[in-house]
Structure 1
Amino acid sequence: MPLFKRKPFPLVDSPDDLEPRDLVFQVRFTKEIFKDYQEYLKRINLYRRRIWTCKVTGKANLTYEEALVTEQRAAEKVQQFPKELMAPVLHIIQFSTLTLRDLLVTLSRKLQERQLVEGLELHVRKKDKSFPCKILKILEDSDPISYEVGWIGKDKKVTGSSVVNFNDLIRRKLPVSREVLKSFIRESTSQSSPWVIHDNLAREHGISTEPPEDSNDDDDNARRKKNKRKEPEDDYSLIKRKKAKKGVQIAEEEPIKYPIDDSLVKPGADEPKFTDRPPPSRDFGVPEEYVGDLLMVWDFCSSFGRLLHLSPFSLEDFESAICHKDTNLNLIMESHSAFFQFLIKDEGDYFTAVQKKKRKSKITLLNWSEYLCDFLEMKEISEFSTHIATIKRGHYGLLDPHYKLAIFRELVVCALDTDAFRDRLDDSIEQQQALAAKKRGVALEEGRKRREEKLLKAESNGKQVLNGNSLENGGKVHHYENGSDDKQNGSNYKPNGSNGKQNGCDDKENGSNSKSNGSNDKQNGDVAEEENKHILVYRRKKASGNRERTSVEEQSSNEEHKESDKRSRDKRNEAKENRNEGQTKEVLQKEIEKLYVCTYSLGKDKDYNRYWFFRHEGRLFIESSDSKHWGYYSAKEELDALVGSLNPKGERERALQKQLRKSYDKISLALQKRSKDIAFNIALEEAVVRRSTRVHAPVRDNPAKAFLRYVNKWKE
């Protein structure tokens, strides 16, 4: 039994008040029975933790089940322990105070050097050669100890005997490995300090169960306990120990790691509100237990119509044709004829059977039943033998639908065994692999383009930052130079103005002297001309500075417009490329779906009901766990309710929900298309019923009778 904290862990006893019809929970590997689910779940979580130790091997950090398996394997190895070594080994183990490692070393040394027992096979060195032998008797009276050995021949029999010394014996290896010896020690003892073997083993091998008088076990135990390092406790253990002293029990509740098995999921208070799962429709024309055959045959004909040269037809038309009582239905005849022609081309058993009957090469409405009878006679199935006469009389339509589907099922099985079908499968698989590789290449190319665009964008942003800094610095410098010119011109202008004022004052002071006034006027005129020149120079420089600033601003704005135009063009091109790449992906995915050779179920719910969706049918089918009951959903609202009713905490429903969400768009479009077609067909039927007798327009065909008007457009 695995150890918990180095001690045996007791199992829970079965409840006494169990009734035959009580619902219980049983642990598979311990056979413990619980009536309360929470207790069962708590115990299961405890067993799943890696806190268990194998009692035999001493391996730690195992789950309970892993520890059980390890113990079983170790016990099997212990059973192989040589019986002739048990008594001497148990004598050494009994009441030994050595540690396990030291005890192993002691046993190995004694077994290899001294503890040679009678009946042990080994080799003897004689004249530089080794010969196999078997110890017959130990001569302990001699000094040193000698051994009487018997020589073992090729037939494994003892042919003669001799007396040899210990040094002449060759021990190539221990009779048992150290691991087996360790397992034997653990398995045969009940305690380890000191080692005490089980009472039954002691009685069997005549070993004393009374401890020796000079044993200091108590002192050794006290010394070990004193020197044993106390492991630090965490906060939770400390709180638990303190509360345990006060009599308060702490319930250990381990959090459940989801997803788990759906049958173990229980409703919780924190769960979201799930929608009610809608009941599926079950209005099939054939019995429910044969709906699987109906879907299989129809899906095969739809998927491999090109190979069979059979144009597609709807599931409803095929179901109506199967249930119809008329023998010479074109859809039934063309379907059988396509299979017969395919089997004849394969030149197998059916081809041989037809050649013996010397049938006509062309299959028509008049002779197709003969080919069908040849096929049924070739198969020699007792289920069909009773109906061959009915078919020969031309009453195929009177057969029950499940017999018709059984015949189609056998035709599909025979078609699957043909070489042409296998070649088609190989081609489809190769094409799928090529398209998948192309799709991966498109995805890799998209990733490469995105990385390049990111790098280009980062580089362009860096250039814009650098250009912006240079433009900003250049504008400031240019503005500073113009400003300095302005200041300089202003400074030149002001002194001249001051000179003018000064000259005006001189005119007032010297107004009496006309000569001096004339000279002053001339001087004032020269000063005015110089002032005008300075003003013109100042205005020209200011205008040139403004023009330069304007040109720089216009240049920067033009560059910004160009960059914005370039970015907009890049965005448009990128959007166009993304649309093209997205369309390429969609086209590749559609091509891959067209090459599917098998339809797989979407998944299972908690009750093991399987869900199926077929590419050419706008319904979601539900198959029971025993395949005897079928149903379907045909509305988008039912699909939404189904997705909302699945609990992601369960493994099966989580996977089913993932697949339904992945294919949600495709399934919902198919359901909506079928709903629109049904509404349109109902409107057509009403139009046919309401048609007036005075109207001479041609009568519209009833959509419900479409299977009667089937024409094989792919016929050879």
Structure 2
Amino acid sequence: MDCVGDALMVWDFCTSFGRLLNLSPFSLEDFENSLCYKDATPLLIVESYSALLRLLVKDNGKFAMTIEKKKRKPKITQVTWSEYLCDFLETTCGDELSMHISTIKRGHYGLLEIRVKLAIFHELVAQALDTDTIKDKLDEYIEERQALAATRRDEALDEGRKRREEKERRKSEATGKEGKEERRVQSGEGYHSIANEVTPDKSNGKVLSQQNHSSRNSENEGGDGTSKKNAKKQKVERNPSPEDVNHPSKREIHKLMKNEIKESIEMKSAEERKEFLEREIEKRFIRTSPLGKDKNYCRYWFFRRDGRIFVESSDSTQWGYYQTKEEVDALIGSLNAKGERERALKKQMQKFYSKICSELQKRSKEETQQIEMEEALVRRSTRVRAPPRENPALAFLKYVNKWKEL
């Protein structure tokens, strides 16, 4: 049970950065079954290793230098992947993992313990996260998420402004008659007050004229100063340096991205715009964080592509999960709103409740279909039994990497 966390981490990384790795996504069950399979090395495992190793080779780091010294072929294939993996274990990993090199070289990777397989994957993912490719992609995602969040914030402010204007309009219509009468009274009083103010003061005419003259001079002086400053600013803006043209600032990039997003959602309705922005923010994966903790400091995790709520014990030695809507409802109802941790956890679960339920329903539907297929297979006669590869329990052996780099 202590390696469940590694399995979730590796699977989440591979599926989240699948496009960058040229690795088409796969389910957590298929990944688990592939790790447990001992007869051979499933294609899913081979493609996952190959994708991670290719990323390290392209990064031109320590591992890439080792490959260059050994004069390996530049392309990692289904035949040569084990050689690259052994080079990685020999170069990067310690004695605990490098001791299994001989087993892998003999072609018996499937006989390794699951704990060892996941430890190798864990080390590969840790090295991949330190590459410039992943770092640049994360920076790009952060900028895009910020632009999307800013657009979503502007949309919310715009909706709030429209609601306020509508409320004020209705209020003004309801009190229209009273407002007209008040304006009439105020206009009459204003006329008399203006007439009184215009009356000249003969006794203090000289003083007033001096004050007016001094105020005009001060305004002119201030105006000249501000005009000079504005002229300087305009000169600077009109003549930007070549560095600014070639390397726009982050603020300018952010503004451009924001404008592009607004143009793309301009023709959509308010609800469609909101859904689009939420969906696009989710696509820009940065990291998976736990929903929260309960009173026993157990962490609760929700992964976008699985649907289940995973529970990790405080010492990370035990794992469990909730897989039905009824179980999730019971969990939310059992959380104590008076407790600081459970109140925050309950709030997060309520926030993602609709998403969790939709994923769970989708998952239960797929499981029902799989059970029906297995039952239909059992009912068949032994003489017409389907070959092993058509068995739903061995569906992970049919994995094909559709995003593989040619």
TM-score over 0.5 (shorter chain):
yes
Aligned to 1:429: 142
Q: CA deviation at 1:360?
A: 1.7
Aligned to 1:446: 159
Partner SS, residue 317 of structure 2: coil
The within-5 A match list for 1:546-695 is 580-691=269-380
Q: CA deviation at 1:356?
A: 1.5
Matched, 1:354 2:67: yes
Partner SS, residue 289 of structure 1: coil
Matched, 1:320 2:37: no
Please, what is the CA RMSD of the aligned residues? 2.5
Which has the larger strand fraction?
1
Determine the C-alpha separation between the residues in 2 that align with 1:349 and 1:594: 31
Deviates more, 1:604-613 or 1:698-707: 698-707
Letter of the 2:301 partner, please give it: W
The Cα offsets for residues 609-655 of structure 1, whole Å up to 9 and x where unpaired, read as 11000000121100000001111111111111111111122111111
- List 4+ stretches of structure 1 deviating above 4 A: 462-467, 692-700
Change (3 A) 1:695 1:408: closer
Change (3 A) 1:361 1:444: same
Asked if the contact 1:339–1:415 (Cα under 8 Å) also holds between the matched residues in 2, the reply is yes
Aligned to 2:208: none
Partner SS, residue 596 of structure 1: coil
Matched, 1:405 2:94: no
Aligned to 1:333: 46
The Cα offsets for residues 433-472 of structure 1, whole Å up to 9 and x where unpaired, read as 00000000101111121122223323444559999xxxxx
Change (3 A) 1:306 1:376: same
Letter of the 1:656 partner, please give it: L
Determine the C-alpha separation between the residues in 2 that align with 1:417 and 1:699: 41
Determine the C-alpha separation between the residues in 1 that align with 2:385 and 2:27: 32
The within-5 A match list for 1:216-365 is 288-365=1-78
Asked if the contact 1:310–1:335 (Cα under 8 Å) also holds between the matched residues in 2, the reply is yes
The Cα offsets for residues 177-218 of structure 1, whole Å up to 9 and x where unpaired, read as xxxxxxxxxxxxxxxxxxxxxxxxxxxxxxxxxxxxxxxxxx
- Percent identity for Structure 1 against Structure 2: 61
The Cα offsets for residues 373-421 of structure 1, whole Å up to 9 and x where unpaired, read as 0000101411012211111111111000010000000101111111111
Asked if the contact 2:44–2:400 (Cα under 8 Å) also holds between the matched residues in 1, the reply is yes
Determine the C-alpha separation between the residues in 1 that align with 2:50 and 2:386: 37
Determine the C-alpha separation between the residues in 2 that align with 1:703 and 1:697: 10
Asked if the contact 1:322–1:404 (Cα under 8 Å) also holds between the matched residues in 2, the reply is yes
Match of 1:701 among 390, 396, 404: 390
Q: CA deviation at 1:361?
A: 2.2
Aligned to 2:107: 394
Aligned to 2:130: 417
Determine the C-alpha separation between the residues in 1 that align with 2:177 and 2:303: 56
Letter of the 2:40 partner, please give it: T
Change (3 A) 1:694 1:415: closer
Determine the C-alpha separation between the residues in 1 that align with 2:137 and 2:129: 10
Partner SS, residue 409 of structure 1: helix
Letter of the 2:166 partner, please give it: E
Asked if the contact 2:38–2:110 (Cα under 8 Å) also holds between the matched residues in 1, the reply is yes
Asked if the contact 1:289–1:627 (Cα under 8 Å) also holds between the matched residues in 2, the reply is yes
Aligned to 1:183: none
Determine the C-alpha separation between the residues in 2 that align with 1:599 and 1:295: 11
Asked if the contact 2:23–2:404 (Cα under 8 Å) also holds between the matched residues in 1, the reply is yes
Determine the C-alpha separation between the residues in 1 that align with 2:307 and 2:71: 44
Asked if the contact 1:353–1:374 (Cα under 8 Å) also holds between the matched residues in 2, the reply is yes
Asked if the contact 2:377–2:385 (Cα under 8 Å) also holds between the matched residues in 1, the reply is no
Q: CA deviation at 1:338?
A: 0.2
Change (3 A) 1:380 1:607: closer
How many residue pairs get matched?
A: 319
Q: CA deviation at 1:582?
A: 2.0
Partner SS, residue 612 of structure 1: strand
Determine the C-alpha separation between the residues in 1 that align with 2:388 and 2:394: 13
Change (3 A) 1:466 1:444: closer
Change (3 A) 1:702 1:694: closer
Aligned to 2:86: 373
The Cα offsets for residues 52-98 of structure 1, whole Å up to 9 and x where unpaired, read as xxxxxxxxxxxxxxxxxxxxxxxxxxxxxxxxxxxxxxxxxxxxxxx
Unpaired runs of 5+ residues, structure 2, are 181-265
Asked if the contact 1:330–1:711 (Cα under 8 Å) also holds between the matched residues in 2, the reply is yes
Letter of the 2:129 partner, please give it: L
Letter of the 1:630 partner, please give it: W
Determine the C-alpha separation between the residues in 1 that align with 2:46 and 2:139: 29
Q: CA deviation at 1:362?
A: 2.4
Asked if the contact 1:688–1:699 (Cα under 8 Å) also holds between the matched residues in 2, the reply is no
Change (3 A) 1:371 1:341: same
Aligned to 1:78: none
Letter of the 2:152 partner, please give it: K
Which has the larger helix fraction?
2
Q: CA deviation at 1:672?
A: 1.9
The Cα offsets for residues 512-568 of structure 1, whole Å up to 9 and x where unpaired, read as xxxxxxxxxxxxxxxxxxxxxxxxxxxxxxxxxxxxxxxxxxxxxxxxxxxxxxxxx
Partner SS, residue 78 of structure 2: coil
The Cα offsets for residues 290-328 of structure 1, whole Å up to 9 and x where unpaired, read as 000000000001111111111100000001101111333
Change (3 A) 1:361 1:327: farther
Unpaired runs of 5+ residues, structure 1, are 1-287, 468-576
Q: CA deviation at 1:354?
A: 0.9
**TM-score normalised per structure 1:** 0.43
Letter of the 1:594 partner, please give it: K
Determine the C-alpha separation between the residues in 1 that align with 2:166 and 2:330: 43
Letter of the 1:624 partner, please give it: S
The Cα offsets for residues 279-298 of structure 1, whole Å up to 9 and x where unpaired, read as xxxxxxxxx11000000000
Asked if the contact 1:328–1:365 (Cα under 8 Å) also holds between the matched residues in 2, the reply is no
Letter of the 1:449 partner, please give it: K
Change (3 A) 1:694 1:337: closer
Q: With a CA cutoff of 8 Å and minimum separation of 6, indicate the structure with the bigger relative contact order.
A: 2
**TM-score normalised per structure 2:** 0.74
Q: CA deviation at 1:580?
A: 1.9
Letter of the 1:707 partner, please give it: F
Asked if the contact 2:389–2:398 (Cα under 8 Å) also holds between the matched residues in 1, the reply is no
Letter of the 1:448 partner, please give it: R
Change (3 A) 1:324 1:695: closer
The Cα offsets for residues 246-277 of structure 1, whole Å up to 9 and x where unpaired, read as xxxxxxxxxxxxxxxxxxxxxxxxxxxxxxxx
Determine the C-alpha separation between the residues in 2 that align with 1:387 and 1:421: 28
